């Protein structure tokens, strides 16, 4: 019994003692917060309105009941900008994509996008351009593009009409399983990749930087992709981590990335890591 008690104490200590997470190129880990699997497991966005700041998370537990009953059973990494907030939803069929949008005044509207013939149905993330006129969106799998839509509520104002595809960011290097992107400047995005393979950039689960030839708009632009290295994979459990959404908050220059822990540890040591330059 004494031996079992010692083992338990050692195991508990391993869970409670913080482990120094590695830095990625140009970004240092400055802290972390626990990420709950039900309502903080898909992504996050920072919303600033009327001088106040809110941190919004998404997860299976945050999907509104009315959307679930209509088949929208997956929410991705949300985006925000200029007081606007966007949640991306997908369904199991090719029924299109849905963007749940909250305006700076607090009103909500649902915008739907009918898939192009060549478009994957995955709606992994929404990233609002700094001028809030465009919305960047990502698919799943190995891709050489990100998609651009007119910003719902700003450039497209009728929720009863199809939200049209506008253009693409043509990437000069393939990416895999991108879970979230956010703008750092009008011509730079940071993206979190859940790539489990590692052959594209020499590491699994990388933080990616995408430098644009010009700001996004109605015409295609080029994106130069650079891997900044592997994101922190720290847990008391071994196994497969899942890198989720990302957020960059310009006023304090803080980058946040959600990483869910393997197996049973998903419930208690999943983290939202905070980075600064």
Q: pTM surpassing 0.95?
A: no
Of 258, 246, 247, residue with least CA distance to 41: 258
pLDDT tens sequence across 119-150: 999 999 999 999 999 999 999 999 999 999 99
pLDDT tens sequence across 256-276: 999 999 999 999 999 999 999
pLDDT value at 5 more than 50? no
Q: Mind listing the domains of the chain with CATH numbers? A: 22-276 (2.120.10)
* Confidence label for 10 from pLDDT (cuts 50, 70 and 90): very low
CB 237 within 8 A of CB 271: no
* Confidence label for 2 from pLDDT (cuts 50, 70 and 90): very low
CB 135 within 8 A of CB 148: yes
Which spans in 142-270 are helix H? none
| Residue that wins the pLDDT comparison between 59 and 19 | 59
pLDDT value at 93 more than 70? yes
**Encoded tokens for 197:** 């393979």
pLDDT of residue 22: 57
Give all strands (DSSP E) within the chain, no chain letters: 28-34, 43-49, 52-58, 74-75, 79-81, 84-90, 97-102, 108-113, 126-128, 134-137, 142-150, 167-176, 178-185, 188-193, 206-212, 221-230, 242-249, 254-260, 271-276
Give the DSSP H/E element, type plus range, for residue 7: helix 2-16
């Amino acid at each position: 019994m004494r031996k079992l008690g010692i083992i338990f104490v050692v195991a508990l200590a391993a869970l409670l003692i913080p482990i120094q997470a590695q830095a990625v190129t140009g970004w240092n880990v400055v802290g972390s917060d626990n990420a709950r699997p039900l309502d903080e497991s898909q992504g996050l966005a920072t919303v600033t309105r009327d001088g106040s700041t809110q941190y919004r998370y998404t997860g299976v537990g945050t999907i509104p009941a009315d959307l679930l009953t209509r088949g929208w059973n997956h929410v991705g990494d949300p985006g925000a900008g200029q007081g606007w907030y966007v949640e991306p939803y997908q369904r199991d069929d090719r029924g299109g994509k849905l963007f749940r949008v909250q305006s700076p005044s607090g009103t909500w509207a649902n915008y739907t996008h009918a898939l192009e013939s060549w478009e994957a149905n995955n709606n992994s993330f929404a990233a609002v351009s700094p001028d809030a006129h465009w919305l960047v969106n990502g698919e799943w799998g190995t891709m050489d593009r990100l998609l651009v839509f007119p910003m719902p509520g700003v450039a497209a104002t009728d929720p009863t009409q199809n939200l049209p595809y506008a253009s693409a960011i043509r990437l000069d290097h393939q990416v895999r399983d991108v879970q979230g992107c956010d703008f750092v400047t009008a011509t730079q995005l940071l993206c979190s990749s859940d790539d489990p393979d590692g052959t594209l950039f020499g590491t699994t689960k990388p933080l990616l930087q995408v430098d644009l030839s010009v700001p996004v708009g109605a015409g295609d632009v080029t994106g130069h992709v650079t891997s900044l290295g592997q994101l922190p994979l720290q847990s008391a459990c071994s196994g497969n981590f899942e890198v989720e959404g990302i957020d960059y908050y310009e006023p304090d220059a803080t980058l946040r990335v959600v990483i869910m822990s393997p197996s049973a540890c998903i419930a208690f040591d999943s983290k939202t890591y905070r980075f600064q330059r």
